[in-house]
Amino acid sequence: MTANAVTIAGSDSSGGAGIQADLKTFGALGVYGASVLTALTAQNTQGVTAIHDVPADFIAAQIDAVFTDLDIGAVKIGMLSQVPAIRAVADGLTRHDAQNIVLDPVMVATSGDRLLAVEAIAALCLDLIPRALVVTPNLHEAAALTDLPLARGEQEMEAQARKILALGPRAVLIKGGHGDSADSVDLLVDAKQVIRLVAPRVKTRNTHGTGCTLSSAIAAGLAKGLDLVPAARAAKDYVTEAIKAADRLTVGHGHGPLSHFHQFWRQ
C-alpha cells in the first residue's frame, strides 16, 4: 500500500523550503506527497520579497479535495502567516479527523524575513498546537512561543519544550541547529521522556529549508508506519546527510538549499 502524506504550507519560489522542500523530502523517502498551499512567496536564497496569502476558503477547499480522495497517513504543517489560514487548517483537520500531525511553527525564514504575523501566534497556540502529535520549533521559535529568552543550553531547551508541551501536543522536538556547540542536539520531549538526537554540526551556509525538511521527514516516517521516536531519529539522520551534501549544489547566491536527493545524485 502506498504511503501518502500531505504538506500544508507556503510555496518557496526558489524551491529550497516550503512545500517544494516537503515534496522533495517525501519523494526521497518513498512517500507520495500531496499539498495544500497556504501562501505564495516571492523568495530566493537571499530573501523574501513578497507574500501572497491564499484565501481561507480556498485553503479549506484544498484540504477537502485531498482528504476526501487520498488515504493520508501523516500531515506536515508549515507556513501559516495569518489567523484566517490557521483557523481554516484547524477546522479542516478536525473535519477529516487527521492523524499524525507534525507542526513546524514557521515564523522567520533563514534570511531573517518574518513569515508569521505577530497576532497569529496566539491562534497557532490555541487552534493548532493542541492538535499536533509533535511540534518542531527551532530555538528562536521556541523562545517566541514561550515568551522566554533564547535557550542557552539543553536544560533551558527542555524547560521551553515542556512549556510548549503544556499547550496540548503529545510531544515537542526542539531543534538546536541554531546553537554554536560542536554537535547539533535536538531534544524530543514528551510526558514520559527526553530523547537526545545528536549529530555533528556541519559547517555550511547552505541551510535554507532545514526546518521544513526535518518536519516533513518526520511526517514521511509516520506515514510509513513508524512510531514517533524512530521517525524522528530517521529524520535527523536524513537531514544531517542532506546538509553534508548541500555544498555539492550550486544554487543561488545566498543561503542555498539542502541536497534532498543526495542518496540518488552522484557527482
> Read out DSSP for 7-44?
EEEEEETTSSSHHHHHHHHHHHTT-EEEEEEEEEEEEE
Selecting among 15, 33, 212, 256, the annotated active-site residue is 212
- Residue 110 DSSP label: T
Q: At 208, which amino acid appears?
A: H
- State yes or no: is 175 an active-site residue: yes
Selecting among 210, 236, 240, 256, the annotated active-site residue is 210
- State yes or no: is 112 an active-site residue: no
Residue among 99, 131, 139, 104 nearest 22 (CA):
104
Q: Give the three cell numbers for residue 259.
A: 541536497
Selecting among 7, 45, 136, 207, the annotated active-site residue is 207
- State yes or no: is 211 an active-site residue: yes
Selecting among 175, 177, 240, 256, the annotated active-site residue is 175
Contact 179, 185 (CB under 8 A): yes
First to last CA, the chain: 33
- State yes or no: is 38 an active-site residue: no
> Read out DSSP for 138-149?
BHHHHHHHHT-P
- State yes or no: is 125 an active-site residue: no
Selecting among 176, 177, 179, 211, the annotated active-site residue is 211
- State yes or no: is 240 an active-site residue: no
Selecting among 15, 73, 92, 209, the annotated active-site residue is 209
What is the H or E stretch that residue 184 is in? strand 183-190
Q: Could you give the residue numbers annotated as active site?
A: 175, 207, 209-212
